[in-house]
Amino acid sequence: MVPPCEARAVIDIAERIRHAATDETLRAAASEIWKRVSPTLFDPHDERTGLRVSDAGQCVRALWNEVHTAPKVFEPDVQLFNLDEGTLTGAWFACLLAASLKADGYLVELEPEVSFNGTLGHIDLYFQAEAPLTRLKLGLPPENGVVEFKRTNQSWSIKAPHEPNKSGETRRYQILQLMAYCAAKGVNDGAIVTIAPSWDGKMRVDWYDLDLWRDAVSGEQMRLSAALSPVEPEGDASEAFRCRGCPVIACPRNDRYAESRLEQQLAASLEAHAK
Ligand code: SF4
């Protein structure tokens, strides 16, 4: 179930990014930040020995196979036009936002590593206004948060991550990831910037409040922990796209399961042993 989603907008992210994209000084500052951040963008992940915060929403059986047997392999076009393009675009938007925030005295961190109950992850962008303790003393709300950038080619993604698309699916997994980062950083507010070049608006920003998601985030971490168990769990993919191209052919929800004739082979083997 998706918790309620009312949340305050801590800063105007879209306005800041749009302004920085055309302001000469901010754009130059963003370019300098890019030079520092970009060398590590495509570094390979460390070998998998456990879960990552970005696993939120993954099917636990597919994840179990990745952890216990073989690393995930992507099709070249998925790697290039989905993952790599998303990384590049999101990183540049993050640099523009960082330049805008730094110019106004905010502390900004790009790609900081965090740990949520021992699960590691990398945040796209964390920001914090100057003098947080003075703000607290004055009774002002904290002005800090986590920002994640998600690029999509799918026009249904003009919806907020918590809103169902025409197939009834949400991008709840993106919110769970964001909220786990907020919990790791000890802040309450997080935003998802959805970059959708195929859509007229091209970018939308949705804020979420950790207080409303805390239980859901803990529940997700417990669900995913089955991927570390010695026993292979049942597949539990919530979204249809997760099963497309899934390497776990032994799962009855896999398109290639019927072709594999696994059940027939097992039945034949049992029959042979019974004789
Ligand atoms: S086919 Fe779907 S449900 Fe089965 S393991 Fe793969 S992702 Fe999970």
pLDDT tier at 79 (50, 70, 90 boundaries)? confident
Residue nearest to atom 3 of ligand 1 (CA): 235
pLDDT in tens, 83-97: 889 999 999 999 999
Question: Is the confidence at residue 199, as pLDDT, over 80?
Answer: no
More confident residue, 157 or 10: 10
Q: What local confidence, expressed as pLDDT, does residue 157 receive?
A: 63
Q: What is the pLDDT of residue 40?
A: 84
Handedness of CA 64, 67, 73, 77 (dihedral sign): positive
Pocket test for ligand 1, best of 243, 244, 260 (most atoms within 8 A of CB): 243
Beta strands in 189-258 (DSSP E): 189-196, 202-209
pLDDT digits (tens, 9 = 90+) for 43-57: 876 677 789 999 999
Pocket residues: Cβ below 6 A from ligand 1: 59, 61-62, 235, 237, 242-243, 246, 248, 251, 253-254
Could you tell me which residue, 1 or 267, shows the higher pLDDT?
Answer: 267
- CATH assignment of 13-236, given 3.90.320.10, 3.30.1130.10, 1.10.274.10, 2.60.120.260? 3.90.320.10
Mean pLDDT in residue range 99-107: 96
Q: What is the mean pLDDT of the segment spanning 127-141?
A: 82
Q: How far apart are CA 181 and CA 185, in angstroms?
A: 6
pLDDT in tens, 147-184: 999 998 876 667 899 999 888 889 999 999 999 999 99
Please tell me the distance between residue 65's alpha carbon and the centre of ligand 1 in angstroms: 10
Token pair belonging to 163: 């809103």
pLDDT on residue 76: 87
Look at phi and psi of residue 7 and say left if phi exceeds 0, alpha if psi is from -120 to 50, else beta. beta
Which protein residue has the closest C-alpha to ligand 1 atom 7?
Answer: 243
Of the candidate ranges 1-5, 23-27, 64-68, 128-132, the one whose mean pLDDT is the lowest: 1-5
Q: Which atom of ligand 1 sits closest to the CA of residue 254?
A: 1
**How many whole angstroms from 67 Cα to the centroid of ligand 1?**
15
128: CA distance to ligand 1 center in Å?
A: 40
Whether 147 and 97 have beta carbons less than 8 Å apart is answered as yes
Strands 189-196 and 144-151: parallel
Domain locations along the chain: 13-236, 243-275
Average pLDDT, rounded, for the chain: 89
In this predicted structure, the answer to whether residue 2 has a pLDDT above a threshold of 60 is: no
- The region of weakest confidence among 22-26, 232-236, 264-268 is 264-268
Q: Which residues, including other chains, have CB under 8 Å from residue 240's CB and lie 6 or more apart?
A: 167, 169
